[in-house]
Amino acid sequence: MENILVSFIENTGFYYLTYKHFIMLLIAFFFLYLGIFKKYEPLLLVPISFGMVIGNIPSPASMSLGVYSEGSVLYYLYQGVSQGVYPPLIFIGIGAMADFSYILSRPILILLGAAAQAGIFITFIGAYFLGFSPSESAAIGIIGGADGPTAIFLTSKLAPELIGPIAVAAYSYMALVPVIQPPIMKLLTSKKERMIVMRSDFREISKKEKVIFPVGALVLCCLIAPGALPLLGMLFLGNILKEAEVTNRLAEAAKGPLIDIVTILLGISVGASTQADVFLTGKSVLIFVLGVISFAVATMCGILFAKLMNMFLKEKINPLIGAAGVSAVPDSARVAQLVASKENPGNYILMHAMAPNISGVIGSAIAAGVMWSLIGKF
Amino acid sequence: MEINPYLFSIYGLFIVFSGLALLSFAVSNIHRVIFFFENLKLDNFRKKQKKIYLTQNIRTDVKKLFYLSDSGNGLFYLPDLIEKALMKGQENPWIIIDFLLKKNIICPDETGKFFWNDKSDCWKQIFKK
């Protein structure tokens, strides 16, 4: 009888439960709370945090259930993350949803998307001097791009052992854009600057321009940084499916079912990869700290560059849109709008902020491509 | 092999900046490229005209044409307009007429006359600039 009881307990998760699992489950519940009740990026945070619950329910080693156990269902789902398959698929959907007419009508604002990528490289230096290898430093730095798929893609290529903490950090900070960015925006801008009204007469963009853009931009960007091809290729493919207007079915599939399915698979497998024994390490904590620094520095660089541009531009731009250069689309643009409308309720800068926001996606993909091609050699 | 993090970061940021700056430049000029290719498809008459008018030229030419044709009642015949334009040294009036029609600045009526479209104020905007 006693043996049966012991055997029963040994076959339950309780027997293997440690304080680390407990901590991870609490973190997962907290993220679930943020996603469901606070509505912080629920489409990402809910599958990720639920995946964290799945990944942190302990089981006997012989059962081969987790993402790291070869042969398990989660293991196969996780291959999409570890081999960098999901991010380009998500980029097709993003491309099909993206409207590039904002950057076509205000091309100068594209530069803000480049400036915000400085956070990636500054954090790279910091991580390198904290003892991370060049590959790990690059993977940590890319968190500042605030682009989850790009962060996962680069990490899968350079430091696959860090995918769990980096993916969770990247997506968490994307979800926390409304919390992280406003204080930095207010710190670096005066009330007068936040009240700058930008002209609202956007140039009408012809269909030809919209069709030529994805092709031209792909060729141009990928000749400069060939490493960005898997991401930008898919991004611009998705966009041309939409703009061509003869492939509406494909565009609808890309921005609907495809991106939804891949987001679920990505979220659940990234979440499940945060198993306590792998995730709860000093390195992970450091990655989270460096990640938020990277994100903050990227925001700062975008704003400061907008202020720099204002020194040369006749028609001033609201420096808040510089913060949208981090590529959390469309959240950082929305936050810029919120902060601006708090100072002047009639000031609409959302459309202007979308330009650096979308160019930030392109910029972070180029940055990832550069890092992959250069660091991969070391 | 050791990596110099400073040099690497400067190089990386330079690539990102140059990529997006080039993109910005290309986007700023995309309408010119489209205009160029559209003109390649013009009929033989237009092909003979080697000069391709860009936006600024057209704006100037529209001003000239406006003064040429303003007979007081706002009506004019298209052939007259072209003839006058040619006499005054306009090299390619068809491009101008095309521009005026596309922008809805002039409209044809059933008698073959063209008239300035009073409902559209875009020609007024052009003259202001």
Chain B residue numbers touching A370 (CB-CB < 8 A): 11-12, 15-16
User: Is there a contact between B20 and A134 if contact means CB atoms under 8 Å apart?
Assistant: no
B89–chain A nearest CA distance, Å: 32
> Which pLDDT score is estimated for B79?
55
Is B28 an interface residue toward A (CB < 8 Å)?
Answer: yes
User: Is there a contact between A363 and B12 if contact means CB atoms under 8 Å apart?
Assistant: no
Could you give the CA distance from residue A67 to residue A276 in angstroms, rounded to a whole number?
12
Which of B13, B16, B30, B36 would you mutate first to test chain A, the one with the most A CBs within 10 A?
A: B16
Could you give the CA distance from residue A334 to residue A137 in angstroms, rounded to a whole number?
30
Strand, helix or coil for residue B54: coil
Chain A residue numbers touching B5 (CB-CB < 8 A): 124-125, 128-129, 134, 137
Please compute the mean of the pLDDT values over residues B104-111 and round it to a whole number: 64
At a CB cut-off of 8 Å and minimum separation 6, what does B126 contact? B59, B62, B63, B105
Is A377 an interface residue toward B (CB < 8 Å)?
Answer: yes
Model confidence at B51: pLDDT above 50: no
pLDDT in tens, A244-258: 989 999 999 999 999
The distance from CA A33 to its chain's CA centroid, rounded to whole angstroms, is: 20
More confident residue, A168 or A96: A96
CB B16 within 8 A of CB A227: no
CB A266 within 8 A of CB A90: yes
pLDDT in tens, A280-302: 888 888 998 888 888 899 999 99
Structure-token pair, residue B108: 């044809």
Q: Tell me the average pLDDT of chain A.
A: 88
Least confident of A114-128, A188-202, B24-38, B87-101: B87-101
B28–chain A nearest CA distance, Å: 6
User: Is there a contact between A128 and B5 if contact means CB atoms under 8 Å apart?
Assistant: yes
Q: pLDDT tier at B80 (50, 70, 90 boundaries)?
A: low
Could you give the CA distance from residue A328 to residue A332 in angstroms, rounded to a whole number?
6
Least confident of A157-171, A242-256, B32-46: B32-46
Is B18 an interface residue toward A (CB < 8 Å)?
Answer: yes
Please compute the mean of the pLDDT values over residues A351-371 and round it to a whole number: 91
Model confidence at B63: pLDDT above 90: no
Bridge partners (DSSP) listed for residue B116: B106
Q: Sheet of B113-116: strands edge to edge?
A: B75-77, B113-116, B106-108
Could you give the CA distance from residue A209 to residue B37 in angstroms, rounded to a whole number?
12
Please compute the mean of the pLDDT values over residues A66-77 and round it to a whole number: 87
> Which pLDDT score is estimated for A155?
92
Cα dihedral angle (B58, B61, B62, B66), rounded to 10 degrees?
Answer: 180
User: Is there a contact between B27 and A103 if contact means CB atoms under 8 Å apart?
Assistant: yes
Model confidence at B106: pLDDT above 50: yes
Please compute the mean of the pLDDT values over residues A170-189 and round it to a whole number: 87
CB A142 within 8 A of CB A155: yes
For the ranges A159-163, A178-182, A231-235, the maximum mean pLDDT occurs at A231-235
More confident residue, A368 or B94: A368
User: Is there a contact between A108 and B24 if contact means CB atoms under 8 Å apart?
Assistant: yes
> Which pLDDT score is estimated for A16?
80
The residue type of B91 is E
Residue in chain A closest to B13 (alpha carbons) equals A118
Is B21 an interface residue toward A (CB < 8 Å)?
Answer: yes
User: Is there a contact between A107 and B17 if contact means CB atoms under 8 Å apart?
Assistant: no
B105–chain A nearest CA distance, Å: 17
Residue B29: HSE in the Cβ half-sphere, 13 Å Cα cutoff? 9
Model confidence at A204: pLDDT above 90: no
Q: pLDDT tier at A343 (50, 70, 90 boundaries)?
A: confident
B64–chain A nearest CA distance, Å: 26
Q: pLDDT tier at A101 (50, 70, 90 boundaries)?
A: confident
Instruction: Out of B1, B6, B12, name the one closest to residue A378 (CB).
Output: B1
Instruction: Out of B11, B12, B30, name the one closest to residue A209 (CB).
Output: B30
Could you give the CA distance from residue A172 to residue A179 in angstroms, rounded to a whole number?
11
Residue ranges with strand state E in chain B = 75-77, 106-108, 113-116
Q: pLDDT tier at A207 (50, 70, 90 boundaries)?
A: confident
Could you give the CA distance from residue A234 to residue A258 in angstroms, rounded to a whole number?
13
Model confidence at B42: pLDDT above 60: no
Strand, helix or coil for residue B110: coil
Model confidence at B72: pLDDT above 70: no
Closest CA to A170 of A135, A146, A140: A146
Please give the model's pTM, rounded to 2 decimal places: 0.78
A281 Rama sector, left if φ>0, alpha if ψ -120 to 50, beta otherwise: beta
Q: Is the dihedral of CA A276, A277, A281, A283 positive or negative?
A: negative
Please compute the mean of the pLDDT values over residues A100-122 and round it to a whole number: 89
User: Is there a contact between A216 and B31 if contact means CB atoms under 8 Å apart?
Assistant: no
User: Is there a contact between B16 and A134 if contact means CB atoms under 8 Å apart?
Assistant: no
> Which pLDDT score is estimated for A320?
92
Could you give the CA distance from residue A89 to residue A261 in angstroms, rounded to a whole number?
10
Model confidence at B38: pLDDT above 60: yes
Closest CA to B98 of B51, B35, B27: B35
Residue A256: HSE in the Cβ half-sphere, 13 Å Cα cutoff? 7
Q: pLDDT tier at A153 (50, 70, 90 boundaries)?
A: very high
> Which pLDDT score is estimated for A173?
82
Model confidence at B44: pLDDT above 50: no
Q: pLDDT tier at A344 (50, 70, 90 boundaries)?
A: confident
Is B17 an interface residue toward A (CB < 8 Å)?
Answer: yes
CB A64 within 8 A of CB A70: yes
> Which pLDDT score is estimated for A144?
83
Least confident of A48-52, A278-282, B43-47: B43-47
> Which pLDDT score is estimated for A364?
92
Structure-token pair, residue A195: 């009240």
Could you give the CA distance from residue A157 to residue A155 in angstroms, rounded to a whole number?
5
Q: Which residue has the tokens 């031209």?
A: A216
Is B115 an interface residue toward A (CB < 8 Å)?
Answer: no
> Which pLDDT score is estimated for A328?
79
The residue type of A11 is N
> Which pLDDT score is estimated for A199?
76
The residue type of A365 is A
User: Is there a contact between B30 and A104 if contact means CB atoms under 8 Å apart?
Assistant: yes
Is B27 an interface residue toward A (CB < 8 Å)?
Answer: yes
Model confidence at B47: pLDDT above 60: no
User: Is there a contact between A208 and B21 if contact means CB atoms under 8 Å apart?
Assistant: no
Please compute the mean of the pLDDT values over residues B62-75 and round it to a whole number: 52
Burial of B28 (0-12, 13-18, 19+ CB in 10 A): middle
CB A310 within 8 A of CB A124: no
Model confidence at A54: pLDDT above 90: yes
**Complex prediction ipTM:** 0.84
DSSP, res A15: G
At a CB cut-off of 8 Å and minimum separation 6, what does B34 contact? A206, A208, A209, A212
Which of A99, A105, A109, A110 would you mutate first to test chain B, the one with the most B CBs within 10 A?
A: A110
User: Is there a contact between A363 and B8 if contact means CB atoms under 8 Å apart?
Assistant: no
Is A117 an interface residue toward B (CB < 8 Å)?
Answer: yes
Which of B7, B27, B35, B129 would you mutate first to test chain A, the one with the most A CBs within 10 A?
A: B27
Least confident of A115-119, A159-163, B51-55: B51-55
Instruction: Please report, for residues A34, A47, A193, the alpha-carbon distance to residue A78 in angstroms, rounded to integers and kept in the order given.
Output: 24, 14, 46
Please compute the mean of the pLDDT values over residues A154-174 and round it to a whole number: 86
DSSP, res A198: P
CB A122 within 8 A of CB A297: yes
DSSP, res A257: I
Instruction: Out of A110, A114, A134, name the one closest to residue B3 (CB).
Output: A134
User: Is there a contact between A212 and B30 if contact means CB atoms under 8 Å apart?
Assistant: yes
Express as a percent the part of chain A with pLDDT over 70.
Answer: 98
Chain A residue numbers touching B11 (CB-CB < 8 A): 370, 374
Under 8 Å CB pairs connecting chains A and B tally to 107
Please compute the mean of the pLDDT values over residues A330-338 and round it to a whole number: 88
Q: Phi and psi (nearest 5°) for B108?
A: -85, 145
Model confidence at B105: pLDDT above 90: no
More confident residue, B110 or B57: B110
